[in-house]
Amino acid sequence: MEQKELNIRKEKNLPLNLLRGKTAIFIDLDGTLADSLGFLYPVYLQFLENNGVKGDKEEFETLNGPPIESIVQTLKEKYDFSTGIKELCDEYFVLIKDRYLETVKIFEGSQEFLEKAKEKGLKLFLTTSNYREIVKDFLKKHKLESCFSSLFCGDDFNFNKSDPSYYIKIFTLAGVKQDSALIIEDSFRIIEDAQKKSLAAVAFCPEPRSPLPIVPIAQTWQEMTRCLNIL
C-alpha cells in the first residue's frame, strides 16, 4: 500500500475524541513504544542461521506478538530442531539481551505522550511478550519506569499474546473495565483479536503495511498526543 493511501486511511480513522471516556491505556512494547522490530528481525535470522535454517521476512511477520517460548516452539516444530526447547530459548534470549539495550530506542514522541497521559490522570500499563528483566532495564535507561502503573511481561503468566482472550485477562488483572480501556498495538493479528472481543484499539503503524485493520490507525505518537489535548 502506498504512503498516500495509508495517510488517507489514517486521517479518516484517528478521531481526536479517541480517549474520551477512557481511564486506562494498555501499550505494547516492541514495535509500538520501542522501535525494535528492525532489531528483532536480525535476531530471528541469526537464531535460524545458528540452527542451519534460512529465515525470511514473511515468516518473521507471523511471529510478531507471541513470547520467545512460543516463537521458539513454533520454529522447533516447523524445522524439526533436535536441540531441546530450553536450550533454544536460552540461545534466543541471549541474542536479544546482548543487543537490546545498546540498539533499541523509543519512538519519537512516545515519552511526551506517556508523560502527558499521566498528567491527565490516565493509568498506563505496558503489555509485552518480552522478558521482564529486559523490559525493566529498557524502561530505566529511557527514564520511563515511573510512567506505568504495572508491567505485564511475557514471563509473568501462563498465557500470552497468542491467546485471543489475552487482553480480557489483562484487564481483569489490572482491575480495569473493558469499556474504560484503550489498547495500542502494532500487531494486526492482536488488533483483530481485540476487535472480535469488541475492545477499543489503535493500530500503531509507522510504516506502510497491508491489509490494514478496520480500526483507528496512528503513524506517530504525536498523533496520539493530539488526542490528549482535548481531554
Residue 39 near residue 104 (C-beta atoms within 8 A): yes
Q: Which residue has the higher pLDDT, 168 or 39?
A: 168
- pLDDT tens for 194-215 read 989 999 999 999 987 777 777 8
Do 78 and 169 lie in a common domain? no
Domain closes at, from 103, 128, 150: 103
Residue 227 near residue 14 (C-beta atoms within 8 A): yes
Mean pLDDT of 173-186: 96
Name the band, by pLDDT with cuts 50, 70 and 90, for residue 184. Answer: very high
pLDDT of residue 13: 56
Domain closes at, from 48, 78, 103: 103
Do 23 and 55 lie in a common domain? no
Q: Count up the domains in the chain and report the number.
A: 2
Do 198 and 219 lie in a common domain? yes
Name the band, by pLDDT with cuts 50, 70 and 90, for residue 97. Answer: confident
Domain closes at, from 76, 103, 130: 103
Do 31 and 47 lie in a common domain? no
**Separation CA 51–CA 91 (nearest Å):** 10
Q: Which residue has the higher pLDDT, 183 or 159?
A: 183
Do 96 and 118 lie in a common domain? no
Residue 151 has pLDDT above 60, yes or no: yes
Cis peptide before 211, with omega less than 30 degrees from 0? yes
* Report field, pTM of the whole predicted structure over 0.85: no
Q: What is the CATH number for 70?
A: 1.10.150
Q: Where are the beta strands (DSSP E) in the chain?
A: 24-28, 34-35, 105-106, 123-127, 150-152, 181-185, 201-204, 217-218
Range of the domain at 14: 3-36+104-228
Give the number of other CB atoms < 10 A from CB of residue 13: 17
Type of residue numbered 230: I
The SS3 assignment for 177 reads: coil
**Separation CA 132–CA 151 (nearest Å):** 8
Residue 56 near residue 148 (C-beta atoms within 8 A): no
Do 121 and 133 lie in a common domain? yes
Show the CA angle centred on residue 80, arms to residues 79 and 81, nearest 5°.
95
- Would strands 201-204 and 105-106 be described as parallel, antiparallel, or unpaired? unpaired
Residue 219 has pLDDT above 60, yes or no: yes
Do 172 and 79 lie in a common domain? no
Q: Which residue has the higher pLDDT, 188 or 79?
A: 79
Do 205 and 146 lie in a common domain? yes
Which of 3-7, 137-141, 147-151, 153-157 shows the lowest per-residue confidence on average (mean pLDDT)? 3-7
Do 191 and 138 lie in a common domain? yes
Residue 121 has pLDDT above 80, yes or no: yes
Mean of the per-residue pLDDT values for the chain? Answer: 89
Do 138 and 216 lie in a common domain? yes
Do 42 and 78 lie in a common domain? yes
**Separation CA 187–CA 215 (nearest Å):** 12
Of the chain, the end-to-end C-alpha distance in Å amounts to 33
Q: What is the CATH number for 174?
A: 3.40.50.1000
Do 42 and 30 lie in a common domain? no
109: alpha, beta or left, given left = phi > 0 and alpha = psi -120 to 50? left
